[in-house]
Amino acid sequence: MRRVETGMVLAVALLAGGCGGGAGTTPAAAPSPSPGDTWSVLVSGSVTPSPTQSPGSPRTPGGLTASLPSANPSCTKVFPATDPVLIPVAVTAIAGGFTVEWPRQYESNYRVTAVPQRLVSGAQPEPVWKNVPAGTGCTIRTTITGLVPGAPYIVWLDAPNSGYEADGTRHLYSGRSGVVYPK
């Protein structure tokens, strides 16, 4: 009978105290279990609010700054990693297109496209991907041409065969630029 009473007192104490205990209230203490009882003893603590993000504030990893190392340690060009999931992409405007450069990682092949940002009514056109081999240097560079000068684009990069980490997560496999304009 003692176990039932202790359990009921504990349940009543938890219900009376709620999750936060309310302002100025203290949950009732449950009696100490007797030797041989199989009840768990809970340690009291304090409630900590969940972190919240202010509307309109940037969603960046808290103070995280890093750079993506090259696959070859002798490479000197460093690409800033702005997002731990995306491959950093450097885009330079040229006449009617872009030169696109990124660090070579893994042994994946790549594909790259420039997606127009002008509004189009109806179905959106499929992007035209340019296939790029893995290469052997520190970085991989390609050009995209045939674009409308002065029109807004976002350059997308995809590494479809980048493999997996030991824990099963995908290696970095995509990247994108901000809005860019060809000359």
166-172: average pLDDT: 83
Contacts (Cβ under 8 Å, ≥6 apart) of 69: 103
Residue 123, both tokens:
């179905």
Say whether pLDDT at 3 is over 90. no
Residue 68, both tokens:
């993506």
Asked whether residue 106 falls in the same domain as residue 26, the answer is no
Asked whether residue 40 falls in the same domain as residue 86, the answer is no
Kindly indicate the confidence band of residue 86, based on its pLDDT and cuts at 50, 70 and 90: confident
Query: What pLDDT was estimated at residue 150?
Result: 97
Q: Are 113 and 128 in contact (CB under 8 A)?
A: yes
Alpha helix stretches (DSSP H) within the chain: 2-17
Asked whether residue 74 falls in the same domain as residue 33, the answer is no
182: number of Cβ within 10 Å: 21
- Quickly list DSSP for 12-35: HHHHHHTTT--TT--PPPPPPPPT
Contacts (Cβ under 8 Å, ≥6 apart) of 83: 61
Residue bearing the bigger pLDDT, 117 or 55? 117
Kindly indicate the confidence band of residue 48, based on its pLDDT and cuts at 50, 70 and 90: low
Asked whether residue 93 falls in the same domain as residue 148, the answer is yes
Q: Which structural domain range is residue 27 located in?
A: 1-45
Percent of the chain with pLDDT over 90: 36
Kindly indicate the confidence band of residue 63, based on its pLDDT and cuts at 50, 70 and 90: very low
Report yes or no on 55 lying in a domain.
no
Residue 178, both tokens:
């901000």
Report yes or no on 56 lying in a domain.
no
Report yes or no on 105 lying in a domain.
yes
Q: What is the pTM of this model?
A: 0.58
Asked whether residue 22 falls in the same domain as residue 109, the answer is no
Say whether pLDDT at 70 is over 60. no
Asked whether residue 90 falls in the same domain as residue 28, the answer is no
Residue 19, both tokens:
């999750």
Asked whether residue 80 falls in the same domain as residue 125, the answer is yes
Asked whether residue 29 falls in the same domain as residue 73, the answer is no
Residue 56, both tokens:
């309109």
Query: What pLDDT was estimated at residue 116?
Result: 96
Asked whether residue 15 falls in the same domain as residue 71, the answer is no
Domain total for the chain?
2
